[in-house]
């Protein structure tokens, strides 16, 4: 619901922003300030409501937010954690959207924006000041909505214009970023709740534990009084005393008391009328066989007192309760005696870390102390006033220094402090009474621990986000941009080279990382299992030796194999011990587990087959209880005694292995996520570097298609892409050149068509004009020239102009038609001489003509008519450029595969602009010229496979260079 509200407020802020921009209204400064402050108050109120909800949820659910983790994977706990993360994201975005409502009052400048942020900060600082700046997490949580509100416009704009795949990533970021912002506050609230739990429940329970044991003993007395008459009490005292004491009767009585429900370290002993032991059952309280039980003035009422029982080199503090069993009402005499022992230890506290996997089956009130819940990771240490540790739940004990002891001794008020044990920093709560000093604490997360848990949170949100996307996609309800997300993503990857490249690189980076993580995990787990199996095999051998030494050091007959013996052995090796005889259980240090049916009393099949049948010296297998598994080491109790099998369940060792595997999984998850992030970033960079030239080529191609040719691509690469882009730029330049040539060709075609039309239109009326003029001239001469020379001069002038017009028409017609080419071998000197010979006589004495044809022996494969006409036009222009005197030099040279003919005159020359336009049709520097001579010359030469170029210097002369290939 809060996510929906945040989404609605986000859309509302966008609509408000567009409304204010459309109307371009400006509120008065006081109104704007009031609006911003009100928005800040609303945002602080949202954060306050979130914290209250979080405190209530943590208090009611007992979720351990001080150590948010995915391990162990409990569905209810994980679902609750996901809900809290979504609640954090929703509250952050609701507060941010509330602020964004006032930030959308049109476009504001930087100064106004700073003023707006300052107004938002006023309620935030007031709230922090009220809480006395409790901690850093509260500051981050309060400033988070302001940061999100300032980034909302950018996110909204980018979201609208980006691709579907980018939207997919943005939505995940919008979910993760607020959760990461809220993470410090969640951890702090979890730590505060854990601290309150320690103060209100754990510490008082620890301090009152001796009194609680006394109360439990009192309840046990009442329960025994209610059922003692229902037990099958043996009548044959002699036979009973002669037999080995059977623990079943005492166990059946113990099982019905609070001792069993709380699994207190205790024992029940049943004695006959002669004080002979009939039955004894003990839970972790072995009997010292060197002591003799004394009975003084036993009556039918309970007698309770404390005692110190020596056990080996140690002393055990016990609560002792005894009474006589009076089954015959009204008659004197007793049928026996019942004795109850309860150890004054703290192992039965309903919290603290326990390595025994089957404790939960007997103590359901330990559920809140399971991993992931609020009672987990709480360590307990009890000290005597001599600072000697009496009890501890962990391997490390906090040392109490002199200054700390003075503080504890000086005040009876409990207090918190920070202590370090074996490099682990912990928050420790100290309390005390006349019985001792009680320290309860939990570790402080390091920076690495926070990184690991953030990685777990991101992974959890990623899984939830993908499931949400898959569900909505499967139901057809997830629509982005008017079409389904899956269809859009598939279309984008199919049509985008960059995205396919990025996906390929990302997969290439992720798959090896995942494979490496799996290989490392499996190798580490196998190594841990091998070490555990080695330790288990060593432990069962130690148990063999302990039993053997007990039998060897006995003063009299070897001790019987009883539960008490195995309890003692179990305390020596710090593991449970069982002995099977054949296929049935003979003795155990945990009788209640077998009697309750939690563990089978038959010899495990694999153990019996390996030890009894295959006669292996030792064997390690796997046992199970509930959903938990643990190692079981087995060996024959004595060499050669294959029917007596000693087994040691390594439940505590398996718990340590599971803890190490959990830490390994967390570390691997962090490493995998960091490597995946690094791989994705590298893939993005590499894909962008590779796809950027392709994108530039695509953009440039579109520009060329639109007619823009003058924007070359600039590249910074030095690989094949540089060559590709260089070739593309050359292609673009070639397109520009071809486009220019095409335009020039089209222009020439247009000129040629116009020339053909002009030639046709001029030629038609010239014939009758010429014929009429000639007829008039003949008639005039035949009649004796009556009009004199005037008519002759006029007619002669008309005929001269007609000839000029015919020449113009001939030029136009020649230029406007495509001539037929008839190539044949032609001698160069003959061609040149045939062109210049008609000019020699008319130019003699005025213009000097010189030829230097060194390549006269070579032949050109050309059309002599077209090339001769081209030379004629060139020479005509050269002669016209020398109206008085000058020189005309014609030279021929062979250069490699070319034959160059140079025609040089000493005429007036022309400038560079004229040189650029010299071959354009109808361009002429002469008043009476048509401007087609050089154009026709260029066309004829190029039609024969040659080229023409012009060099000119004003007042110096002009040089025309004609080149032909020497080989056809």
Torsion of CA 832, 833, 836, 839, to 10 degrees: -170
The pLDDT of residue 430: 94
pLDDT higher than threshold 60 for residue 6 = no
Distance CA(691)–CA(714), nearest Å, equals 15
Helices 29-61/75-103 angle, 10° precision: 170
Torsion of CA 750, 754, 760, 765, to 10 degrees: 180
**What would the two tokens of residue 942 be?**
């190029």
What value does the mean pLDDT take over residues 834-860?
Answer: 77
CA-based radius of gyration for the chain: 55
The helix (run of H) or strand (run of E) holding residue 355 is: none
Count structural domains, the chain. 5
Distance CA(415)–CA(434), nearest Å, equals 17
Domain boundary among 749, 779, 810: 810
**276 & 313 share domain:** yes
Distance CA(144)–CA(147), nearest Å, equals 5
Residues whose CB is less than 8 angstroms from the CB of residue 686 and which lie 6 or more positions away in sequence, other chains included: 505
The pLDDT of residue 359: 53
**45 & 120 share domain:** yes
Query: How much of the chain exceeds pLDDT 70, in percent?
Result: 82
pLDDT higher than threshold 60 for residue 570 = yes
Greatest mean pLDDT among 18-32, 184-198, 469-483 lies in: 184-198
**What would the two tokens of residue 7 be?**
């989404």
Distance CA(215)–CA(152), nearest Å, equals 62
Query: How much of the chain exceeds pLDDT 90, in percent?
Result: 5
Residues whose CB is less than 8 angstroms from the CB of residue 877 and which lie 6 or more positions away in sequence, other chains included: 933, 934
pLDDT higher than threshold 50 for residue 576 = yes
* Strand, coil or helix: 718: coil
pLDDT higher than threshold 80 for residue 943 = yes
- Between residues 803 and 366, the one the model is more confident about: 803
**198 & 227 share domain:** no
The helix (run of H) or strand (run of E) holding residue 331 is: none
The pLDDT of residue 896: 79
Give a yes or no: residue 307 inside a domain.
yes
CB burial of residue 565 (10 Å; 0-12, 13-18, 19+): buried
Least confident of 95-99, 745-749, 878-882: 745-749
* Strand, coil or helix: 559: coil
Which residue do the tokens 């020339």 mark? 755
The pLDDT of residue 919: 81
**801 & 890 share domain:** no
* Cβ neighbours of 803 (radius 10 Å): 12
Domain boundary among 325, 343, 361: 343
DSSP-assigned states of every residue in 760-806? HHHHHHHHHHHHHHHHHHHHHHHTT-TTTHHHHHHHHHHHHHHHHHH
* Cβ neighbours of 734 (radius 10 Å): 10
Residues whose CB is less than 8 angstroms from the CB of residue 452 and which lie 6 or more positions away in sequence, other chains included: 666, 667, 669, 670
- Between residues 519 and 768, the one the model is more confident about: 519
Nearest Cα to 32, choosing from 120, 97, 98?
120
**310 & 167 share domain:** no
* Cβ neighbours of 718 (radius 10 Å): 8
The pLDDT of residue 361: 46
The pLDDT of residue 327: 62
* Cβ neighbours of 770 (radius 10 Å): 17
Give a yes or no: residue 537 inside a domain.
no
Helices 864-880/933-943 angle, 10° precision: 150
Residue 207 forms beta bridges with which residues?
A: none
Distance CA(518)–CA(503), nearest Å, equals 22
**69 & 148 share domain:** yes
* Full residue range of the structural domain in which residue 922 is found: 821-965
**84 & 192 share domain:** yes
Q: What angle do CA 775, 777, 778 make, to 5 degrees?
A: 65
Contact present, 677 and 454 (Cβ < 8 Å): no
The pLDDT of residue 902: 92
DSSP-assigned states of every residue in 931-945? S-HHHHHHHHHHHTT
Which residue do the tokens 């020398």 mark? 882
Nearest Cα to 352, choosing from 398, 396, 393, 397?
393
Nearest Cα to 256, choosing from 275, 236, 229?
229
Contact present, 858 and 935 (Cβ < 8 Å): no
Contact present, 321 and 346 (Cβ < 8 Å): no
Greatest mean pLDDT among 9-13, 106-110, 224-228, 491-495 lies in: 224-228
**150 & 50 share domain:** yes
pLDDT in tens, 229-256: 776 666 544 444 445 667 778 888 888 8
Query: What is the pLDDT confidence band of residue 368, given thresholds at 50, 70 and 90?
Result: low
The pLDDT of residue 291: 54
Contact present, 811 and 939 (Cβ < 8 Å): no
**234 & 89 share domain:** no
The pLDDT of residue 847: 86
* Cβ neighbours of 912 (radius 10 Å): 9
* Strand, coil or helix: 671: helix
CB burial of residue 22 (10 Å; 0-12, 13-18, 19+): exposed
Nearest Cα to 202, choosing from 353, 25, 387?
353
Residue 588 forms beta bridges with which residues?
A: 578
What value does the mean pLDDT take over residues 639-655?
Answer: 80
Pairing of strands 436-443, 479-480: unpaired
Give a yes or no: residue 670 inside a domain.
no
pLDDT in tens, 530-540: 888 888 888 88
Which residue do the tokens 């002891």 mark? 405
The pLDDT of residue 951: 92
Distance CA(596)–CA(261), nearest Å, equals 12
Which residue do the tokens 């000041």 mark? 129
CATH of the domain at 836: 3.30.565.10
The pLDDT of residue 21: 45
Query: What is the pLDDT confidence band of residue 662, given thresholds at 50, 70 and 90?
Result: confident
Give a yes or no: residue 651 inside a domain.
no
**178 & 51 share domain:** yes
Query: What is the pLDDT confidence band of residue 4, given thresholds at 50, 70 and 90?
Result: very low
- Between residues 275 and 611, the one the model is more confident about: 611
Give a yes or no: residue 682 inside a domain.
no
What value does the mean pLDDT take over residues 758-773?
Answer: 72
Give a yes or no: residue 653 inside a domain.
no
Q: Check residue 583 and report its DSSP letter.
A: T
Mean pLDDT score of the chain, rounded to an integer?
Answer: 79
The pLDDT of residue 52: 86
Which residue do the tokens 């730029």 mark? 729
pLDDT higher than threshold 80 for residue 802 = no
What value does the mean pLDDT take over residues 784-804?
Answer: 75
The pLDDT of residue 517: 87
Residues whose CB is less than 8 angstroms from the CB of residue 728 and which lie 6 or more positions away in sequence, other chains included: 697, 700, 713
Q: Is the dihedral of CA 816, 820, 823, 824 positive or negative?
A: negative
Give a yes or no: residue 625 inside a domain.
no
876-892 b/e with 16+ CB inside 10 Å = b?
ebbbbbbeeebebbbbb
Pairing of strands 584-588, 824-827: unpaired
* Cβ neighbours of 548 (radius 10 Å): 14
Prediction pTM value: 0.67
CATH of the domain at 371: 3.30.450
**284 & 151 share domain:** no
Give a yes or no: residue 451 inside a domain.
no
Q: How far is CA 460 from CA 80, 123, 454, in A?
A: 12, 34, 10
Q: Assign residue 363 a region: left if phi > 0, alpha if psi is -120 to 50, beta otherwise?
A: beta
Q: What angle do CA 491, 492, 493 make, to 5 degrees?
A: 95
The helix (run of H) or strand (run of E) holding residue 697 is: helix 651-705
Domain boundary among 205, 240, 274: 205
**297 & 229 share domain:** yes
Contact present, 577 and 648 (Cβ < 8 Å): yes
pLDDT in tens, 577-622: 899 988 888 888 877 777 766 778 888 888 888 888 888 888 888 8
């Amino acid at each position: 619901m809060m996510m929906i509200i945040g989404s609605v407020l986000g859309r509302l802020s966008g609509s408000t922003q567009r409304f204010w921009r459309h109307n371009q209204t400006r509120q008065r400064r006081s109104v704007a300030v009031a609006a911003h402050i009100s928005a800040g108050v609303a945002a602080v109120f949202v954060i306050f409501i979130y914290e209250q909800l979080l405190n209530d949820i943590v208090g009611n659910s007992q979720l351990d937010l001080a150590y948010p983790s995915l391990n162990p994977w409990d569905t209810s706990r994980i679902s609750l954690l996901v809900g809290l993360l979504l609640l954090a994201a929703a509250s952050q975005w609701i507060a941010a959207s509330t602020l964004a409502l006032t930030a959308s009052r049109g476009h504001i400048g930087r100064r106004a924006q700073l003023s707006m942020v300052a107004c938002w900060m006023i309620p935030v600082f007031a709230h922090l000041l009220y809480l006395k700046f409790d901690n850093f997490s509260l500051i981050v949580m309060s400033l988070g909505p302001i940061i999100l509100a300032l980034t909302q416009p950018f996110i909204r704009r980018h979201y609208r214009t980006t691709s579907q795949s980018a939207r997919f990533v943005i939505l995940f970021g919008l979910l993760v970023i607020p959760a990461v912002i809220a993470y410090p506050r969640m951890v702090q609230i979890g730590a505060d709740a854990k601290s309150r739990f320690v103060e209100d429940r754990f510490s008082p329970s620890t301090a009152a534990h001796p009194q609680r044991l006394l109360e439990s003993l009192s309840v046990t007395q009442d329960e025994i009084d209610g059922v003692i008459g229902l037990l099958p009490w043996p009548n044959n005292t002699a036979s009973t005393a002669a037999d080995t004491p059977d623990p079943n009767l005492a166990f059946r009585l113990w099982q019905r008391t609070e001792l069993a429900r709380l699994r207190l370290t205790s024992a029940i002993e049943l004695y006959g009328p002669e004080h002979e032991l009939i039955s004894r059952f003990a839970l972790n309280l072995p009997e010292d066989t060197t002591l003799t039980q004394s009975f003084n003035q036993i009556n039918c009422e309970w007698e309770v007192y404390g005692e110190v029982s020596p056990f080996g080199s140690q002393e055990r503090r016990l609560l002792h309760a005894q009474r006589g069993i009076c089954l015959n009402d009204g008659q004197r005499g007793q049928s026996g005696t019942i004795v109850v022992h309860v150890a004054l230890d703290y192992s039965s506290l309903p919290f603290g870390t326990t390595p025994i996997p089957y404790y939960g089956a007997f103590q359901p009130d330990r559920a809140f102390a399971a991993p992931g819940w609020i009672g987990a990771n709480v360590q307990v240490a009890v000290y005597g006033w001599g600072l000697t540790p009496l009890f501890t739940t962990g391997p490390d004990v906090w040392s109490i220094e002199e200054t700390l002891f003075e503080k504890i001794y000086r005040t009876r008020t409990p207090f918190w402090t920070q202590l370090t044990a074996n490099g682990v920093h912990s928050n420790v709560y100290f309390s005390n009474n006349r019985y001792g000093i009680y320290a309860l604490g939990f570790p402080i997360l390091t920076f690495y621990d926070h990184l690991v848990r953030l990685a777990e949170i991101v992974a959890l949100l990623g899984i939830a986000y993908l499931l949400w996307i898959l569900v909505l996609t499967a139901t057809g309800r997830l629509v982005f941009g008017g079409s389904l997300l899956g269809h859009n993503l598939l279309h984008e990857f199919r049509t985008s080279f960059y995205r396919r490249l990025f996906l390929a690189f990302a997969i290439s980076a992720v798959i090896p990382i995942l494979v490496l993580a799996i290989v490392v995990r499996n190798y580490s787990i196998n190594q841990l299992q091998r070490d555990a199996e080695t330790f288990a095999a060593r432990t069962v051998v130690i148990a063999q030796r302990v039993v053997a030494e007990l039998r060897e050091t006995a003063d009299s007959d070897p001790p019987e194999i009883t539960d008490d013996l195995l309890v003692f052995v179990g305390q020596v090796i710090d593991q449970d011990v069982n002995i099977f005889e054949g296929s049935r259980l003979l003795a155990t240090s945990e009788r209640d587990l077998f009697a309750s049916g939690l563990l089978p009393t038959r010899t495990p099949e694999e153990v019996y087959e390996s030890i009894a049948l295959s006669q292996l010296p030792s064997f390690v297998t796997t046992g199970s209880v509930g959903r938990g598994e643990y190692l079981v080491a087995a060996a024959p109790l004595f060499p050669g005694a294959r029917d007596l099998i000693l087994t040691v369940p390594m439940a505590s060792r398996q718990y340590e292995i599971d803890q190490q595997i959990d830490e390994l999984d967390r570390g691997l998850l962090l490493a995998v996520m960091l490597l995946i992030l690094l791989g994705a970033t590298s893939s993005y960079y590499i894909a962008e570097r590779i796809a950027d030239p392709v994108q530039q080529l695509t953009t440039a191609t579109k520009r060329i298609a639109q007619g823009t040719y003058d924007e070359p691509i600039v590249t910074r690469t030095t690989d094949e892409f540089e060559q590709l882009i260089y070739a593309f730029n050359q292609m673009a330049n070639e397109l520009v050149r071809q486009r220019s040539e095409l335009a020039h060709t089209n222009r020439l075609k247009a000129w040629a068509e116009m020339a053909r039309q002009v030639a046709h239109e001029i030629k038609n009326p010239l014939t009758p004009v010429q014929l009429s003029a000639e007829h008039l001239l003949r008639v005039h001469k035949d009649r004796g020239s009556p009009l004199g020379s005037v008519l002759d001069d006029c007619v002669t002038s008309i005929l001269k102009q007609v000839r000029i017009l015919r020449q113009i028409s001939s030029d136009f017609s020649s230029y406007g038609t495509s001539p037929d080419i008839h190539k044949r071998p032609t001698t160069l000197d003959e061609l040149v001489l045939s062109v210049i010979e008609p000019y020699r006589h008319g130019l003699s004495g005025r213009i000097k003509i010189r030829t230097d044809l060194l390549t006269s022996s070579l032949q050109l494969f050309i059309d002599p008519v077209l090339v001769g006409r081209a030379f004629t036009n060139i020479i005509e222009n050269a002669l016209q450029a020398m109206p008085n005197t000058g020189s005309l030099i014609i030279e021929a040279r062979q250069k490699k595969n070319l034959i160059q003919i140079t025609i040089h005159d000493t005429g007036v020359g022309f400038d560079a602009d004229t040189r650029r336009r010299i071959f354009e049709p109808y361009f002429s520097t002469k008043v009476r010229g048509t401007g087609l001579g050089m154009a026709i010359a260029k066309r004829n030469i190029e039609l024969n496979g040659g080229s023409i170029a012009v060099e000119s210097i004003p007042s110096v002369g002009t040089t025309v260079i004609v080149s032909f290939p020497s080989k056809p």
